[in-house]
Structure 1
């Protein structure tokens, strides 16, 4: 299989609220319905969907939003930016709380900080400082 691109879908409890949050991160809605939205940032796409029961094409899989803000996550959205510190200052000015301040991890090569969306999805704001 040769993959040409991919676009994550995340489950959110309130699509309109989440669209507002992701707009503050720099995403732009191209489709918005009460239970679904398609957002773009550059050439990348992020899908938002309301929780729902299994549809006929996947009868054993229901869509569910995260429960609360557990310290355990199964995935994170990593958003690449040119300047993590400046991006985080802009987020704070837009009313978005940082989970961590921008910092370089022990292995170096990047500066990153973390936020959560209204449903608790983890989002990493990442600046590459040296190519790998």
Structure 2
């Protein structure tokens, strides 16, 4: 039996983020980050396009037949991170000012670390984002 190649050029990776308030999250992702809404369905899911990637926002949910022991929940403690996004930028301070003016709340202003400048902010549920200038 011949195996199907994996991955192929017609595949795409989507990141799923569980959110507690869909309206607040859509506002953050579209108005603060500048993502585009691709599709919404059921009031519980919103597909976004951002920097050539797919982000799927979903509300909390319990186990299903295809994930019988797994529940989707937003982060319970934003200070304990197991997943984060890094956005590479040409001018960290300029991006910081733009995002801050749109409502992003940074943990601190960007910090210079020798060859890198970076700053961190969160979405309404605590998902962590980094802007980084190398």
Q: TM-score range by the shorter chain?
A: 0.7 to 0.9
Structure number with larger C-alpha Rg: 2
Query: Aligned runs of 1:69-84 on 2, under 5 Å?
Result: 69=78, 71-84=79-92
Secondary structure at 1:20's aligned position in 2? helix
Aligned position for 1:111? 117
Secondary structure at 1:8's aligned position in 2? strand
Aligned position for 1:13? 20
Q: After superposition, give the CA deviation of every residue in 1:4-52 in whole Å (9 maximum; x if it has no partner).
A: 5422111001112101101111211111231111111232111111010
Secondary structure at 1:119's aligned position in 2? coil
The two structures, once aligned, show a CA RMSD in angstroms of 1.7
How far did residue 68 of structure 1 move? Answer: 4.4
Aligned position for 1:52? 61
Secondary structure at 1:19's aligned position in 2? helix
Query: Aligned runs of 1:89-128 on 2, under 5 Å?
Result: 89-106=97-114, 108=115, 110-127=116-133
Secondary structure at 2:68's aligned position in 1? coil
How far did residue 91 of structure 1 move? Answer: 1.2
Secondary structure at 1:55's aligned position in 2? coil
Aligned position for 2:49? 40
Aligned position for 1:65? 74
Q: Which runs of 5+ in 1 are unaligned?
A: none
Q: In structure 2, do the counterparts of structure 1 residues 3 and 105 end up closer, same or farther at CA, with 3 Å as the change threshold?
A: farther
CA distance in 2, matches of 1:115, 1:49: 20
